[in-house]
Structure 1
């Protein structure tokens, strides 16, 4: 894991839904002595412990998606319709996990009508001068990256502006337009049929937004791109779905968040409750590592 200067006051934002699923599939068969699934809980706690030991953050928040449909479902009914329902064995672990995270003292946030992405986007927008690390594997989040905001992915790689440019050949601010054009299978964002990754990259290097592309349709044929003569026709034909896709791919950064008026600092922990749960579920290794954790021993 690449180090970040610990002298900086870092805000850690955890994409809770993203990590919850990762932990569930990583420890899918883990059960307690009563046969109850506990893999998602175990994996998420291991991740939190590791992050705390690495960065010793004073400010951290875990953000979850809300089960209610959001505004994206209203503008495009097929949004995320390709995803299977949450597994029952995962669903029954969420309530307990939330309790333990609260015992640790970490603020948790989820808001009806908005995805974790939009909550995280708003938190980032309201902490402009703070160094921020977002824990996620969601490529949509790359549009939030700037000189102060980085992503720590599931491979423990730090993703900053340079990494985005190297991978996508465009800057982070263009990611939402890139996804609007090429689509996103994981979220079922349609994009524009017939336009691939390389074509989208070349177009966005010249015209840095969807709006600018549509202002300069006659110039698309002049680009050094295969079948460039047909680009104008393709964009005209798919204008409506292109802007719908842009709306779907754009992370909101100005929603109303009650927590913005509160502190994101760690609250008082309840170590007794935490260790009771560890004991009950035979989390011996987790209990030992928590007890040895420099971060955990600094908790109130």
Structure 2
């Protein structure tokens, strides 16, 4: 999750409805007969993209989170803006989303093999799983059968959790989607992939408070390194920091860095502010196996929030 991979969720909190979980409507065998080639076609598209760009896994994982956190996993983040309408992908928190072409390429191959059958939302969910697995993380069976949504509003991206959120704000945002504190800590581990732009953590390294320049929960040496790449009046658009020290590998280093006071976002550090979430951080830092098991369960839970109405033939345009 990043100001890029779980930056992962950027925006302002607003009150929204709780998304219904539709696990019962999805099935890991949904396309076994109608499109048996589906998973291999998606995996091939992700593999091909990764050969040319090692930021693709973080981008796909973040894209999936940002899709699911608006009105369920309905592929609405993939829709293009029009002359009269600004879509989610052009909302402020999503401007840095990229790698949409990976989903386009997968969809093209799938349409050639199984026309009109597979939703873009399912392709994105599978691509996010492959992004994790191909980065050295775990794999899992993805429940399928999502439909694509017809609504995509840039203004709705204000519903995405911000990197400046405290634990209470994060908990409220996740609970509105039927996700628990345990899910919050596990899904935050997506920050093991990706990159954050300076703007998403400037609040911690410059003018933190009237009496402090730097967030005291940051290691002083780590804060100094962040300030060196992100000076207060930074004019470099792409300046920033990786989210952990093994940014292209899906592992549990993110949690280890949290305990070393080397987190990037305020929302990361917030996980250490309650006994329960801090205990989970410690558990995941100690056991990669425990983290991966929890991450899989939470990913399946989150990606089973559905809300679409159609099967798009072009992931960028409503049918």
TM-score by length of 2: 0.29
Greater Rg over alpha carbons, structure: 1
TM-score by length of 1: 0.30
Structure number with higher strand proportion: 1
